[in-house]
Amino acid sequence: MANWQSRQRDVIQQFASLAWNEPLQSSGLWRHDDIRNNLYYASYLVAAASDSALCGELALDPEAATAKAVGVLARIVNLQDKDPASATFGHWPLGLGERPEEARPNPLPAELMGVLIAYFQQRFGSQLPASINQLLDESVEALFRSSYYRAPLTTFGHHEAKYTATKLIFGHRFKDRELLASGRLHLQQTLDRVRTLGMPEYGALPWFWHWIQAFTCAYECVDDDEIRLELAALLDELWRYRATYYLKGAWTGGRMRSLGHDLPRDGNVAFDYVQFGDFSLPSALPRVEYAGLLFYQAPESVRQTALDRALPQVIRRVISPAGDGAKQPIHSCLFVDEGFAMGGIWERVKEFDNEQHRWGIDFPLRQDGGVNRLYVLPPGDGYVGGDPRHAGETGHVLFHRNAIIALYPFTEGAGDMLVGVLPKGEWIPGDNAVYGYVEGVFIALHMLHGFSLDEEHDRIKLTSAGFASGGVVVEAISAKAALRKQLRRLTDFATAMAENKPLWAASEDEPLRVEYTNLDGDRLVMTLGNESQRIVRTVNGSPIVIL
C-alpha cells in the first residue's frame, strides 16, 4: 500500500466511524445543516464497507453499513427537484432545517455534488444494490438535463471550474459530443489562464479544494487520453500552486477568503494530509468532502517544493483578477524560512464577504488545536461577535523579508480599533510590545499604542482601541537563525528587540511615520502623508519595488 493510500485510509476510517456510530434522525439523514454532509458520510461508509480490514477495525458489519448508507443516499436523491418544468430542476436544498422535505432548492449542492455523485457511482456502483444505482442514474440524468452548468467562461473562478468539469463528465457519460467539446475548450482556456496569469482566487478556501475535486473527478471519469492529459496538466498546475504556499498543513500568505474553520487556524487539511503527509491527521476535521476518496498524485517536483524547498525564500506573485476589466492586478509577497512564513498582499481589496486576509505570520499546523497564524487588523464589515476575518478599508503595508510594517490612519466613521490574534506560546510583555517564542520561532510585535492581551482556549486575543491612528511592526526569526546572532533564549531575544524599538511619528501636524532597523541591520521607513502626498516606503534609503 502506497503512503498516500494509507493516509486516505486514515481519512476513510475517521469518517466512516462517525457515520457508522452516529444515529440517523427521523428524516433518515444524519445531518440537517448541509445536505452535502450526508453525501460525504454515506460515501465514506460505503468505502469502509468495501474494505474487510477496516470493517474489523471499526467493528462494522459491511451489509448493515452499506444498507445504512444506501438509505441515506436514497433520501438525498428524493430531495432533488425532479420536475423538468421547474426553474430549479435538478437542484437540492442546501440547509435542510427542521423539515428537509420543505427546504427550498439551492444551486450550490448540484454544482459540487453532481461531479462527486458521478464519480462515486462509477467507483462503487458495482457494490451497491440495483435499486440505488437506478436512483443515482435518475439523479445524474436530471443534473445533465437541467443545464445549470452550461455557462460561459468569464471569471475563471471556482463556479466555472466545476461547470467545466461537469461538461466533461456529462458529455462523456451521455455521449454528448457537443457538450464534451465545449467542456474541453473551456478546460484548455482554463489551463492557459492558470499557466499564464495564475488563479484569480488566491488562497481561497474551500474554493481551491473544489477546483481539485472537480477536475480530479473529471480525470477519473472521462475515458479520453487527450482530455486526460490536459486534465493532468491542469491538476499539476493546481498542486504546484498549492505547494508554493504550503507549510506543513498550513496555507501561507494572503487569502481572498477563508471560512471560520480555516482562519486563524487551518482546519481544511485532509487533502494536504493525503498528498503531503508531513503532519498528523487531526482527530477532528471540520470539512473533509472527498479527500479520502479522490486522489491525483502531484509530480515529484511539486512535492519537493512543499516538503524540501531551499530556505530562506522570497516568493513574489502578481494576481490578475478576472471577469472585471476595471480591476487592477494586486501583488503578493511572502518570505518563507524554517518553521514560519510571513507576508501577504500589498493592496487592500474588498473580496467576497469582505474576507481578504492581507498579512500575517503563518506557522505549521499545530497538533494541540491552537491557532497557527499571527496577525492584526482594523475590524470592518462582517466583524460580528469578534470574528477576526473581516478587515476595515484603512491601512498600508511594507513587506521586507522577515519584517512587516502596517500603518492604519483611522478616519471619522471608520473606527479607532485594532484587533489581533497571537498563537499560544511563551510571551514576554514589553513597552507597547510583546516578544514571543512559538514552535521554534522568535517573534517581536511592536505597536504604536498600548494594547491588551487576553488568553482564550486556542489563542491570545489582542486589542488596541481609542487612538487616532494605529501601527504595527512585527519581525520573526527561527531559533536556528537567532542562535547565529547569539540569541539563545527568549529573554535574550526580548532584550535585544526592546533595545531596538521602532521610532514612531504620529500627530495632527506631521505624517504617520515609522522607522525600524531589523535584526539584519536593514533600515525600513514607511510614511503616510495627507491626501495630496503619496505613501513612501524605503529600505536603506531606496524606494521599495513591489514587484
Q: Residue 532 has what pLDDT?
A: 45
3-state secondary structure 141-187: HHHHHHCCCCCCCCCCCHHHHHHHHHHHHHHHHCCCHHHHHHHHHHH
Tell me how far apart the alpha carbons of residues 422 and 439 are, in angstroms, rounded to a whole number.
Answer: 12
Place of cell 497538533: 367
- What is the total count of domains within the chain? 3
CB 395 within 8 A of CB 407: yes
Nearest to 153, CA basis, from 140, 144, 166: 166
Residues 6 or more apart in contact with residue 226 via CB below 8 angstroms: none
Among 437, 439, 520, 434, residue whose Cα is nearest residue 472: 434
Query: Looking at the domain assignment, is residue 340 inside a domain?
Result: yes
Q: For residue 493, is it within any domain?
A: yes
Looking at residue 415, what is its pLDDT? Answer: 75
Return d(Cα 288, Cα 41) in angstroms, integer: 10
Q: What is the pLDDT of residue 546?
A: 85
CA 318 to chain centre: 19
- Do 288 and 362 reside in the same domain of the chain? no
**Residue 398 and residue 525 in one domain:** yes
Read off the C-alpha cell for 510. Answer: 506631521
Is 321 in the same domain as 441? yes
Domain membership of residue 320 (yes or no) is: yes
Q: Please indicate, yes or no, if residue 223 is contained in any of the structural domains.
A: yes
Same domain, 255 and 329: no
End of a domain among 104, 121, 138?
104
Shared domain check, 296 and 316? no
Cβ(263)–Cβ(389) below 8 Å: yes
The confidence score (pLDDT) of residue 82 equals 95
Of 370, 396, 253, 239, nearest to 316 (Cα)? 253
DSSP letter assigned to residue 502: P
Q: Is residue 186 part of a domain?
A: yes
Eight-state DSSP code of residue 299:
P
In terms of domains, do 189 and 56 share one?
no
Strand partners, 59: none
How many angstroms separate the CA atoms of 281 and 274, rounded?
9
What is the residue type of 8? Q
Q: Do 274 and 221 meet the contact criterion of CB atoms below 8 Å apart? A: no
The last residue of one of the domains, among 104, 126, 160, is: 104
| Structural domain ending residue among the three candidates 104, 133, 161 | 104
Query: Rounded to whole angstroms, how far apart are CA atoms 157 and 207?
Result: 9
Predicted confidence at residue 241, as pLDDT, reads 98
- DSSP character for 355? -
Query: What phi, psi does 441 have (nearest 5°)?
Result: -130, 135
Q: Is residue 449 part of a domain?
A: yes
User: Is there a domain that residue 132 lies in?
Assistant: no
CA 451 to chain CA centroid, nearest Å: 29
Question: Does residue 314 sit in the same domain as residue 272?
Answer: no
Same domain, 294 and 377: no
C-alpha cell recorded at residue 154 = 468569464
pLDDT in tens, the chain (547 residues): 689 999 999 999 999 999 999 999 999 999 999 999 999 999 999 999 999 999 999 999 999 999 999 999 999 999 999 999 999 999 999 999 999 999 999 999 999 999 999 999 999 999 999 999 999 999 999 999 999 999 999 999 999 999 999 999 999 999 999 999 999 999 999 999 999 999 999 999 999 999 999 999 999 999 999 999 999 999 999 999 999 999 999 999 999 999 999 999 999 999 999 999 999 999 999 989 999 999 999 999 999 999 999 999 999 999 998 876 657 999 999 999 999 999 999 999 999 999 999 999 999 999 999 999 999 999 999 998 888 999 999 999 999 999 999 999 987 666 789 999 999 999 999 999 999 999 999 999 999 999 999 999 999 999 999 998 999 999 999 999 999 999 999 999 999 999 999 999 977 677 899 999 999 999 999 999 865 458 899 999 999 988 7
Q: Do 496 and 409 belong to one domain?
A: yes
Nearest residue to 472 (alpha-carbon basis) of 428, 518, 424, 432? 432
- Full domain range(s) for residue 262: 149-305
Peptide linkage before 105 cis (omega within 30 of 0): no
Q: Are residues 503 and 354 in the same domain?
A: yes
Q: Rounded to an integer, what distance in angstroms lies between the CA atom of residue 445 and that of residue 428?
A: 11
The answer to whether residues 279 and 390 belong to one domain is no
Q: Give burial (CB, 10 Å; 0-12/13-18/19+) of 152.
A: exposed
Domain-located, residue 494: yes
**454 and 339 together in one domain:** yes
Nearest partner of 286 among 116, 3, 34, 117, judged by Cα: 34
Q: What is the pLDDT of residue 447?
A: 98
* CB neighbours of residue 511 within 10 Å: 17
